[in-house]
């Protein structure tokens, strides 16, 4: 079974934290000691809502979950410049190793998508693609289910592959009860384009159904 995963998305506000919550809840219900790590959260005004949601089920202190909190809802690189608070990648990597030892299963969540700039390191902009490359964490992509998702998901998938990243699954979030033609076919078209089968719908306002999808489908992926 995989011990750690990295949750990314095709956009901000796409549902990464909700998917993290679903995965954590299923594993905790199975008696697994789950930790959650969101190294950087922006838009904390004043509370960091993503961390707060996950801490409610993992029992972690917010300070263990988040290392860098910013008020402005912008990319981490912009936030650190505006608020004069430097993000240190080595500090994040060291805390990651600590959490990997502490928990049976660790969910790590990024901010926005894979090309979001985190900071400048060694004179170059460091993105979440670099983070994936440095940590070798297997990746879960969260995308929207409706029209327009094919292009965004395809680009995200191939960006990760270009950095030799391992992709575990794709979740198409906020699927509706009455899908239109695009939503009905997005999963199949993406599977054909990416030559990738582990794509799952997550349904809007149907938590119990979504928990069963995690338990019956996604756990097979991380256990293989």
Predicted pLDDT of residue 44: 92
Predicted pLDDT of residue 47: 87
Predicted pLDDT of residue 1: 85
Residues annotated catalytic, as ranges: 38
Predicted pLDDT of residue 96: 99
Average pLDDT over residues 84-96: 98
Q: What is the pTM of this model?
A: 0.97
Decide if 3 contacts 108 (C-beta within 8 A). no
Query: Half-sphere exposure of 135 toward its Cβ, with a 13 Å CA cutoff?
Result: 29
Per-residue confidence at 45, pLDDT binned at 50, 70, 90?
Answer: confident
Decide if 24 contacts 33 (C-beta within 8 A). no
Average pLDDT over residues 34-48: 93
Question: Domains in the chain and their CATH numbers?
Answer: 4-223 (3.40.50.300)
Of the candidates 112, 126, 41, 120, the one whose C-alpha atom is nearest the C-alpha of residue 81 is 120
Q: What is the DSSP string of 121-181?
A: ETTEEEEHHHHHHHH---EEEEEESSTTHHHHHHHHHHHHHHTT--EEEEEEEEE-SS--H
Q: How far apart are CA 53 and CA 47, in angstroms?
A: 11
Predicted pLDDT of residue 224: 84
* Interval 108-161: pLDDT, tens: 999 999 999 999 999 999 999 999 999 999 999 999 999 999 999 999 999 999
Per-residue confidence at 99, pLDDT binned at 50, 70, 90?
Answer: very high
Average pLDDT over residues 197-218: 97
Tell me the average pLDDT of the chain.
97
Q: How far apart are CA 68 and CA 110, in angstroms?
A: 12
Q: Has residue 56 got a pLDDT over 90?
A: yes
């Amino acid at each position: 079974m995989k011990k750690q995963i990295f949750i990314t998305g095709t956009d901000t506000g796409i549902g990464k934290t909700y998917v993290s919550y679903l995965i954590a809840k299923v594993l905790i219900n199975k008696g697994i000691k789950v930790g959650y790590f969101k190294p950087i959260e922006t838009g904390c005004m004043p509370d960091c809502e993503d961390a707060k949601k996950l801490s409610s089920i993992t029992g972690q202190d917010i300070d263990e979950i988040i290392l860098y909190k910013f008020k402005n809802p912008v990319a981490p690189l912009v936030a650190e410049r505006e608020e004069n608070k430097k993000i240190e990648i080595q500090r994040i990597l060291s805390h990651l190793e600590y959490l990997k030892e502490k928990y049976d299963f660790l969910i790590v969540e990024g901010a926005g998508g894979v090309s979001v700039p985190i900071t400048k390191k060694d004179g170059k902009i460091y993105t979440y693609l670099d983070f994936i490359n440095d940590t070798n964490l297997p990746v879960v992509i969260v995308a929207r289910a409706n029209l327009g998702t094919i292009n965004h998901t395809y680009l995200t998938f191939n960006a990760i592959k270009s950095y030799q990243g391992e992709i575990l699954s794709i979740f198409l979030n906020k699927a509706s009860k009455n899908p239109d033609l695009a939503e009905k076919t997005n999963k199949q078209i993406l599977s054909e384009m990416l030559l990738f089968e582990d794509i799952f719908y997550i349904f809007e306002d149907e938590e119990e159904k979504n928990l069963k999808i995690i338990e019956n489908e996604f756990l097979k992926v991380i256990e293989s």
